[in-house]
Amino acid sequence: MAYAGLTSHHVNYLIWRYLQESGHGEAAIMLQRAWNPDPQNLPFAPYIKTHALITLVQKGLQYYDLENSLDQACRPAGNLKTEEPIPSFFGPKAMQPHAPPEDGTSAAPPTDADKAPSQPSPATHKPTLEGMTNGHATDGPIQPAPAKARKPEISENGEIPAHPDETPMEIDHHEVAKERTPAPAASPSPSEAVLDADGDIGMHGPSVQEPVTPNYTLTTGQSIGIQIAPAKAADLTPDTTLIDVASEGHVTKTLWRPNDPTTLVAAGEGFSGLWRFSGHPSSTAPKHDSLVESKGSRTCVTALDWNAAGTLLAVATYSDMVGSIVMYNPQGSAIDLLPDVPRMVTEIRWAPRGLQMAVVASDGEHSEVALWDQGVRPDDFLPSQAVKGPVYDVCWSGDDEVYASGDGAVYQFQTNTNIQLSKTFNSENREVPWIFAKATYITGSPVVVAASTQTPAIWVPTHDFGLPAAHHGDITSIQLRPQSQPNSTHKNTLLTLATSSIDETVKIWEIDIESKRISCVHRLYLGPSCPALSSAFSPDGYAVAAATHDKLFIWNAERGGTPMATWDVSNGDSKGDNKQDISMNADEPESSSFDRALSWDSDGKKLALGFGKRMAIVNLQR
């Protein structure tokens, strides 16, 4: 009787485990991304034993043979054809090119090995398991001869025939080399067969022990027997759409709407707008709605961010010495205007959940960090916290902690109905500007990673350790690799960080919070005269992308090495209206040459890259 609760999740999990146990880590990751980000958190996962899929398949074949044996045995004596073999699950023997002839003769001329008296004839003996073939008794236990390495045979039509004794995994001790049609009378007695816990004929003999728990590929980040990477990186030019974004200025920010791979917001110093795509990017121009357009005025877009649910877009502008924040809905309509701020709003960050937002306003010498709760919608900002000097970056750790990075320090704030400065982490050099800051939770405690462009250094202020010289040039971006939901039974103290630098490299670091060590896992080289101006992990952590002046590189984050895909802005085969001139503008401001706004969509299949006055939508088929 079939298990009443069997679902596609059970089947997919068994296949996923099989791929990992056989060493096909790349294929396992592909299935994981398309099906479930964290299969190990499925409720039934802890109860699945090793080689479960192989065990079920073998047991099913046993039942299949048993069913056919009983069906043949129950036929009337007059209708029973003794010469008619029981059909194999995988088709007649004619479909098995290496099955020996029934008369025991060899179809090919015998070799010296065949003539040796120590080698049994394939027609006389065939390997079985403890004297049983698919659950049926044989004359006695026969140990299979050790297999010799041989080159694959090629048939006349150029195909490699399937060998029934070859499998992707080393499971020769679980199954026989080829099937044999047993007579009904040869069925084993209960005293002869080895029964499992269900009372069924088991696949293992009494001496076979339970295999040890495997070291899962995706849990540890290592893989054996992984498929070989392609020799040449895929060219993404044919699947790239180019869009003219700005008539003046250049693109400084791109950000996809959360949980919506069809809506993108982009902004520059004097503009911002929404672009909505109709499914797969094509030559058809996306629908565009302008949010802010200066048109010669002194209005500057200084910050923007989507809330976690993707229902609100906050856009900050600065004009006439006053900072403003406007709320937009996903259709691009303004729905709320927040109170003015007497400074430039340099950063806005929504909380991971809810409608609270951290707002940073600065004039270069003094900064204020404030909390805005859109759910309450007060008439004015709540009392803010003053910070001496500039605040370069701000991030959330959980729902009630905000961290801000400044000169020689990282500040910790507690949030509830208002915001309070709770702790200041000072670096050894009080003059180092910590330009970037990212935060997460590890084993129930917050972890903050900061980076400076001046030294260039990596610092973990919450645990008081760092790396003074991570690169040989200025750091241009940092990002923590997205983590799957943590397993409650597994204590993980490791973080993965990607840093890009003008030294033409992207480095992937492993940060061990417990031992306070930072080690470089991959050093990804972009090429000569190709500074890495920005980098970003895909939402599932599978890939890491980096952009230089005129190229985009995408690597497998786990494997590193050579890029798996690239895109060149100077290639004229991309889609869009401006195929003849898509190189960098000759009159492009020098400052914009270091602005490469890069972001992934929520599915991890498209990237938005801003360069100059244009934007490229790069479609990554994976």
The pLDDT tens digits for 284-321 are: 778 999 998 877 678 899 999 999 999 999 999 999 88
- Helix, strand or coil, per DSSP, at residue 595: coil
The answer to whether the CB of 476 falls within 8 A of the CB of 536 is no
Percent residues over pLDDT 90 in the chain = 42
CB within 8 A of 368, min separation 6: which ones? 343, 360, 361, 362, 384, 385, 386, 387
pLDDT for the residue 134: 39
pTM over 0.75: no
Angstrom CA distances, 109 to 115, 124, 364, 370, stand at 10, 17, 89, 87
Tens-digit pLDDT profile for residues 549-598:
889 999 999 999 899 999 998 765 455 444 334 444 444 444 455 778 99
DSSP string, 85-142: PPPPTT--GGG-TTPPPTTS--SS---HHHH-TTSPPTTT----BTTEETTEE-SS--
Q: How high does pLDDT run on average in the chain?
A: 77
Look at residues 236, 279, 283 and name the one whose alpha carbon lies nearest to residue 260: 279
What's the pLDDT band for 280 if we cut at 50, 70, 90? low
C-beta separation of 535 from 544 below 8 A: yes
Least confident of 132-136, 354-358, 403-407: 132-136
Whole-number percent of the chain with pLDDT over 70 = 68
Please state the domain extents for the chain: 234-619
pLDDT (mean) for 339-350: 93
Place of tokens 């209005």: 299
Element (H, E) at 458: strand 458-460
d(CA 277, CA 262): 5
The answer to whether the Cα torsion of 282, 567, 453, 403 is positive or negative is positive
pLDDT in tens, 391-442: 999 999 988 999 999 999 999 999 988 899 999 999 998 889 999 999 998 8
> β-strand 565-568 against 234-235: which pairing, if any?
parallel
Fold of 234-619: Methylamine Dehydrogenase; Chain H (2.130.10)
